[in-house]
Structure 1
Amino acid sequence: MLDPVTRDRALQAAEAAVEVAGSVIRPFFRSGIATHTKDDRSPVTIADRTAERVMRAVLTERMPEAGILGEEFGLEQPEARLRWVLDPLDGTRAFITGRPTFGILLALLVDDEPVLGLIDQPVLRERWTGVAGRPTRFTGPFGGGTAGIATTRRGMALSEAELSCTAPGMMDDRTRPGFQRLEAAVRRSSWGGDCYGYGLLALGQIDVVAERDMKPWDWAALVPVVEGAGGRITDWSGRPLRADGDGSVLAVGDPALLAPCVACLSAAA
């Protein structure tokens, strides 16, 4: 955990970093910018790379003792006990197709445990801020939460739940049957969302998110946000998320839904 002084300094640094990243990203939204394909066949733009550069600059200036792991430019100071983990533009496919369901993700880890996480949607001006041991805060022009506090939805059966996943392509032949069992067990499922889906789960709009092939920069910021709103986030077997895990992520708004969701997914996990 963080002492109060370091926690407050880290929160200020994180908020400054996502602010400057948002100022970089907004002018490129729906601008028809060029898209390049990385070695893993995922898309990347100048917005992704420039936003990560400015985030790194802010974080290094504010907290030089912390390491940084980013999607675009790798790991700095691997020996550091404190480590920022960032995805400057989670949901590049949504971004390049003009959909405002992408976001900026920034987490702080202490000994590999996420203790601070931000989800920031720079076009809609919405932000979720999770700090371990505190309620998740939500700010934005469209409502959600009560008095700025994000709260998940509770008290429904799995058969009443709303399920979300970014894309069917996350599943392969081994994992698809488990997801299909979960999809058959819920009230309704929807596709698309990236990190924004987890923000909606923290607001009680979505009840379950189940995804695969997630890297640490995809999920680290989500942990304090979801858990601070009253939910749970694990892998498909119900275990804590780890950098050396299998890349599966399961988030539930109501902790009571975790066990039945794991039961649906477990044969494929």
Structure 2
Amino acid sequence: MSAVDFAAFVEKLADAASEAVLPFFRTSLGAIDKNAGGPFDPVTEADHAAESAMRQLIEMTFPRHGIIGEEFGTIREDAEYVWVLDPIDGTKSFIAGMPIWGTLIGLLHHGQPIYGMMAQPFIRERFAGDGQHAEWRGPGIDLALIKRTLRARTCASLADAILMTTSPLLYEPAKLEAFRRVEAEVRLSRYGCDCYAFAMLAAGHVDCVIESGLKPYDIAPLVPIIRGAGGCVTTWEGGEPAQGGDIVASGCAALHDQVLSLLRQRS
């Protein structure tokens, strides 16, 4: 089966997650810290409800497929097809009432990302891609849903670039120094958008996204969207990004090479 064959099912997964999550958004929802003693890493009832809904649908429809999920772990990770789920990427924004979070749904075939979606039910946006093409769907001026092709933009110079990262507080000291080398060269840097930063890169609004310490479910669903929009996404060393780690995405190859060079530069 090709990635296109799974597209309709991914829509059903996004619908199920949206129905589970939206009743909790902008309510007096509590959060549990998964990283007691370290940086705040919240999880909510909404995270659990959305991942449970998606996992149940996968198990009923494709019982031989594997699943990698943020909240409930991994099953059959050596299967031919493996689903990668992050029910709410951007939980900190979620609990703060900010709509810059999304549900990430990815599909791996023999370990390689072949389809991905970022769904934001409150704004009614969906970003999807198969590595060759990428598409946005969301409300138009009259609030009716419209579609358009996603296309990352070309930016030949860091001096003209817009850079995004979730937070410099998430970097280890040496990696923060590497990030700052890039940040010092760009026109504008912005913080705090999690998966939305990568979506904005695919949509042509941002030129570079740098992150450190990502998990597979943070990035694997986004890879087919970024590449489908013509962008580049690798590890800081230039390797495949699906397993997570230190990740950089750029709108074009020329800029990507400049960013990799600065990230690898020794102080």
Same fold (TM over 0.5): yes
Give, as a single letter, the amino acid of the residue that structure 2 aligns with 1:75. T
Q: What's the counterpart of residue 241 of structure 1? A: 241
Percent identity of paired positions between Structure 1 and Structure 2: 37
Give, as a single letter, the amino acid of the residue that structure 2 aligns with 1:237. E
Tell whether the 8 Å contact from 1:81 to 1:111 is kept in structure 2 after alignment: yes
Flag the 1:248–1:264 CA change in 2: closer, same or farther, 3 A: same
> 1:98-177, aligned counterparts within 5 Å?
98-133=97-132, 135-141=133-139, 148-177=148-177
Cα distance in 1 between the residues matched to 2:140 and 2:166: 22
- Structure 1 residue 242: deviation in Å? 4.5
Tell whether the 8 Å contact from 2:209 to 2:249 is kept in structure 1 after alignment: yes
Tell whether the 8 Å contact from 2:138 to 2:147 is kept in structure 1 after alignment: no
- Structure 1 residue 39: deviation in Å? 3.8
TM-score by length of 2: 0.93
Cα distance in 1 between the residues matched to 2:42 and 2:18: 19
Give, as a single letter, the amino acid of the residue that structure 1 aligns with 2:223. V
Per-residue Cα deviation, 1:21-61 (whole angstroms, up to 9, x for no partner)? 01111111110111111146410000000100000011222
Flag the 1:42–1:155 CA change in 2: closer, same or farther, 3 A: closer
Q: What's the counterpart of residue 190 of structure 1? A: 190
- Structure 1 residue 158: deviation in Å? 1.4
TM-score by length of 1: 0.92
Over aligned residue pairs, what C-alpha RMSD do you find? Answer: 1.8
Tell whether the 8 Å contact from 1:177 to 1:268 is kept in structure 2 after alignment: no
- Structure 1 residue 156: deviation in Å? 3.6
Give, as a single letter, the amino acid of the residue that structure 1 aligns with 2:216. P
SS at match of 2:117: strand
- Structure 1 residue 8: deviation in Å? 3.8
Cα distance in 2 between the residues matched to 1:57 and 1:234: 32
Moved over 4 A (4+): none
Cα distance in 1 between the residues matched to 2:100 and 2:242: 25
Give, as a single letter, the amino acid of the residue that structure 1 aligns with 2:258. P
Cα distance in 2 between the residues matched to 1:268 and 1:68: 38
Cα distance in 1 between the residues matched to 2:140 and 2:204: 14
- Structure 1 residue 142: deviation in Å? 5.0
Which ranges of structure 1 fall in alignment gaps of 5 or more residues? none
Q: What's the counterpart of residue 27 of structure 1? A: 23
Are residues 1:57 and 2:63 paired?
no
SS at match of 1:54: helix
Bigger drift between 32-41 and 166-175 goes to 32-41
| Counterpart selection for 1:38 from 29, 34, 54 | 34
Per-residue Cα deviation, 1:220-243 (whole angstroms, up to 9, x for no partner)? 011000000010000112221142
Tell whether the 8 Å contact from 1:103 to 1:119 is kept in structure 2 after alignment: yes
Tell whether the 8 Å contact from 1:130 to 1:137 is kept in structure 2 after alignment: yes
Tell whether the 8 Å contact from 2:113 to 2:242 is kept in structure 1 after alignment: no
SS at match of 2:119: strand
Tell whether the 8 Å contact from 1:102 to 1:194 is kept in structure 2 after alignment: yes
Bigger drift between 116-125 and 77-86 goes to 77-86
SS at match of 1:128: strand
Cα distance in 2 between the residues matched to 1:132 and 1:165: 23
Tell whether the 8 Å contact from 1:108 to 1:115 is kept in structure 2 after alignment: yes
Are residues 1:13 and 2:2 paired?
no
Are residues 1:48 and 2:47 paired?
yes
Give, as a single letter, the amino acid of the residue that structure 2 aligns with 1:139. R
Are residues 1:258 and 2:259 paired?
no
Give, as a single letter, the amino acid of the residue that structure 1 aligns with 2:71. E
Cα distance in 2 between the residues matched to 1:248 and 1:198: 14
Which ranges of structure 2 fall in alignment gaps of 5 or more residues? none
Tell whether the 8 Å contact from 2:155 to 2:251 is kept in structure 1 after alignment: no
Give, as a single letter, the amino acid of the residue that structure 2 aligns with 1:198. F
Cα distance in 2 between the residues matched to 1:152 and 1:120: 19
Give, as a single letter, the amino acid of the residue that structure 2 aligns with 1:71. E
Higher strand share: 2
Flag the 1:222–1:14 CA change in 2: closer, same or farther, 3 A: same
- Structure 1 residue 147: deviation in Å? 5.5
Q: What's the counterpart of residue 81 of structure 1? A: 80
